[in-house]
Structure 1
Amino acid sequence: MIKVMKLQKAVYAIILGVIALVVYIIMATTDQLGSRYALEVSGVFFMAAAILFLYPLWTAKEDELGRVELDPEKQEEMDIAQEIKEEQKEIKEELEKEELEIVPEANPATTGIK
């Protein structure tokens, strides 16, 4: 499921953040000078993961009713269905225009009907 929703990079960033946090804890207990930088790297990885977790929400599409589908497979099906509906609507409008052009309007003055 994680691979399907394109969240794999976010999971990797969380894992790297946890590793950097463990490195910070080890360095802080031994009073190393660079422990602060390990904590900063950990924070950067956690922030990047948070942004990557929001990616599917930013790219999600709404349907006519304002609902959002986050499952990419269903979203592709929804896109195809919406395109089919739009094509059917265009064909229907074209047919209506052709019918108006083919069937002339009955005018009593020109037909001689009283």
Structure 2
Amino acid sequence: MRHKPALLLAPLCLAIPLPGTSAALADTTIGGKTVDCYCTDKSGARVELGQSICLQVDGRMFTAQCQMSLNVPMWREVASGCLSSRIAPQLVEPPADAGLVDPHI
């Protein structure tokens, strides 16, 4: 089974040990403060781990989920194409034979 390559966009979870801290704590705290791990969309808005959005990259659109890989948040393609909430186009022209309809009702 061939896996699709992961797409990395703006990783924001720091795992760099600071002087005086151990490497084991570097991915959860920096200076005693918890590091939030999340992805960002193209406008820079925060997207939480586990959330899925529609991404457009190199002219193709696909559904991607914000996931962790080796302590780095990244986008992983989970479906080709994107779901849409747009309603299907409706018939805007009347039927061809409207002769039996009384327009004065």
TM range (shorter): 0.3 to 0.5
- TM-score of the two chains, using structure 2 as the length reference: 0.35
Larger-Rg structure: 1
- TM-score of the two chains, using structure 1 as the length reference: 0.33
User: Which protein has the bigger helix share?
Assistant: 1
